Amino acid sequence: MSDLLEYAVRKLIIGAFVVFVVTVVLFCIMQLMPGDPIQLISNPRIPPEKIAELKKHWGLDKPVYVQYFYWLFHILQGDFGTSITTGQKVITLIQERLPYTLLLAGGSLIFQYIIAIPIGLMAAYKEHSIFDSIVVVSTIIFWSIPSFWLGILLILIFSLKLKLLPVSGYDGLSSLILPLMTATLPNLASTLRLTRSEVLEVLREKYVSTAYAKGLSEKRVLIFHVLRNALIPVTLMFFLYLPWTVGGAVIIETIFSWPGMGRLLWTAISSQDFPVV
């Protein structure tokens, strides 16, 4: 048990360090970018004294490391700073956007697992059957479709041709369907693939034969012995791929003008609004 605790503590320290390094790297990158946010929001006719004053107001006249520690100090006190372009508190911006992104990402993850696990189990159980081959081939195909094109295609079919669903933005549940499908389908393929290969592996284990030999029913063995063990790596993958989900969010939210974090990030990066980033 103490081993486990030690392990957990060590991982936590590494995790905290990773977060620290990430913020430093991001901060440096934003600093290195040509131009600065003040130039972007102010128009060229503003006198240089005024710009200097603005810079002082935002603390942009100080060296980079001073700015960084200044920022870190405020974060630790729970103050996330203010957006330079819009003047809103970053925390309110995030509060506005986060529920939408969580709705999209969470919804797609839930769907993905609800669909992928039973199909993956069945495909592996009937390995080399027609059903299995169809599953394998279609996962490779779905894997190859980029989410942004899938989004465009879905808009074309469901919104423009069939006129069933809204094109973009957010109003009500019907506008959730298309982004959700776009976010779910490509990931569904990889989860399905993983579930299938894990189940195949577990099916070859000796304890599965033992369970059968004990006279347990087919269903019982599959669900309680095979699936339980096969799901361990599948769950692990869930956490490993969280960062990829964030990356995907940027694109999907851009296509559907979804008011979430991904879009916030994209606009913030392009206008160099670094407190937001």
Partner 1 sequence: MGAKFDVKVLTRNKVFLAGLIILFTVAVVAVFADAIAPHPYDEMNVSLALRAPQPRFPFGTDQYGRCVFSRVIYGTRIALGVGLVVVLVESLIGVTLGLLAGYYGKKFDKIVMFVTDLTWALPPLVMALAIVTMLGPSLINVVIAIAAVSWAQFARIVRAKTQALKNMPFVEAARAFGEGDLNIILRYILPNVLSPIIVLSTLTLPQAILSTTSLGFLGLGAQPPSPDWGLILSEGKNYIRQAPWISIFPGIALVYTVLGFNLLGEGLRDILDPRLKL
Interaction site with partner 1 (CB under 8 A): 14, 18, 21-22, 26, 29-30, 32-34, 140-141, 143-146, 148-149, 152-153, 155-156, 160, 197, 243-244, 246-248, 250-251, 254-255, 265-266, 269-270
Q: How far is the CB of 81 from partner 1 (least distance, A)?
A: 18
In the block, tokens 């669903």 appear at 165
Closest to partner 1 by CB, 117 or 189: 189
Rg over CA atoms, the chain:
25
What length does the chain have?
Answer: 277
Q: What is the distance between the terminal CA atoms of the chain, rounded to a whole angstrom? A: 39
Cα separation, 211 vs 193, in Å, equals: 25
SS3 82: strand
Q: How far is the CB of 152 from partner 1 (least distance, A)?
A: 5
Q: How far is the CB of 217 from partner 1 (least distance, A)?
A: 31
SS3 36: coil
Closest to partner 1 by CB, 116 or 150: 150
Cα separation, 110 vs 106, in Å, equals: 6
Cα separation, 17 vs 249, in Å, equals: 25
Closest to partner 1 by CB, 35 or 215: 35
Closest to partner 1 by CB, 118 or 146: 146
Q: How far is the CB of 240 from partner 1 (least distance, A)?
A: 8
